[in-house]
Amino acid sequence: MSNRFGQYVQERWAGSTNKFLNKTPLMAYEFSLPPIDEQLRIEASLSAFIEMKESLRAARIKAEAAYDRISLAFFAPNVDKYHDNDPTSVFPTNWKTFSFEESCVPGAPICYGIVQVQDSVIDGVPTVAIKDLSGDFGAKLHRTARSIESGYVRSRITGGDLLISVKAVIGEAALAPAGFSGNISRDLARVRLDPNLANGQFCLHLIRSKAFRRYVSKYIVGSTRDELSIATLRKLRLPLPTIAEQRYIAAALQEALRASEVLNARIEHADDLLQRMIGKMF
């Protein structure tokens, strides 16, 4: 697991598509071997650390399962109808339903982004892609030349805009952070919600829920690459309670999700510490 061995292997890979390490270079690898009592001491230290990390992973799985159960209770209380032909039948019957189009700010229609972003340029416009939806919209974003981006004024985004993937990986979603200014790629759709009708955090949790993903899956098309058309997205129904209830549900789900995020951060920190320990020991 040490970086030294990893580097050795990378320099001696064979094969183009399926990489493999031949027997000869593996047998030729040389390493320092301390006395057996010291090996056992090192092994005990690392094993305890690895056990702790596995406990964190188990806790994260439980936290994710708890979030799913809470999400199901809010968004799919009629779970007994889960196998009905109409996937919306699981949603709360006392909530009003609106189309995505009806839920948007007037004058800001749902649209996809820049078709061909071309090469990234230093002074270009930050452009969000599917891979960025789980990130912080920071320095790693692609930057599209302003001469290209100027033709896509319609899809410019600001803080609070809801972004949904409509190509390849369908239904991934994120909210643009406060103060953000930029654009999106062709694989995303921008939804600018009317704050008097729909709370962004609530809609984000709704879209990520298993019940809503099941609903959306009925409308995915494409033979070689999945796609959800903008016309279809505009017609999809959003079950919406009052704004006050949306805020309450969003806060409850965010609190449940925070447990998983904290555990993820601790696991990443543990991975980093483990690698440093291994590097120092070996």
- Looking at the domain 96-239, which fold is it? Adenine-n6-DNA-methyltransferase TaqI; Chain A, domain 2 (3.90.220)
User: Is the pLDDT assigned to residue 10 strictly greater than 80?
Assistant: yes
CA 196 to chain centre: 27
Q: What per-residue confidence (pLDDT) applies to 79?
A: 75
Q: Please compute the mean of the pLDDT values over residues 253-260 and round it to a whole number.
A: 90
Least confident of 76-90, 112-126, 223-237, 257-271: 76-90
Q: Which residues of 137-154 are buried (b: 16+ CB within 10 A; e: fewer)?
A: beeebbbbeeebbeebee
pTM as predicted: 0.78
User: Is the pLDDT assigned to residue 84 strictly greater than 70?
Assistant: no
pLDDT in tens, 127-170: 999 998 887 787 788 999 999 999 999 999 999 999 999 988 88
List the domain boundaries for the chain: 96-239
Q: What per-residue confidence (pLDDT) applies to 18?
A: 86
How far apart are alpha carbons 81 and 239 in whole angstroms? 16
Whether 130 and 168 have beta carbons less than 8 Å apart is answered as: yes
User: Is the pLDDT assigned to residue 189 strictly greater than 90?
Assistant: yes
Q: What per-residue confidence (pLDDT) applies to 85?
A: 67
Q: What per-residue confidence (pLDDT) applies to 232?
A: 92
Q: What per-residue confidence (pLDDT) applies to 207?
A: 93
User: Is the pLDDT assigned to residue 78 strictly greater than 90?
Assistant: no
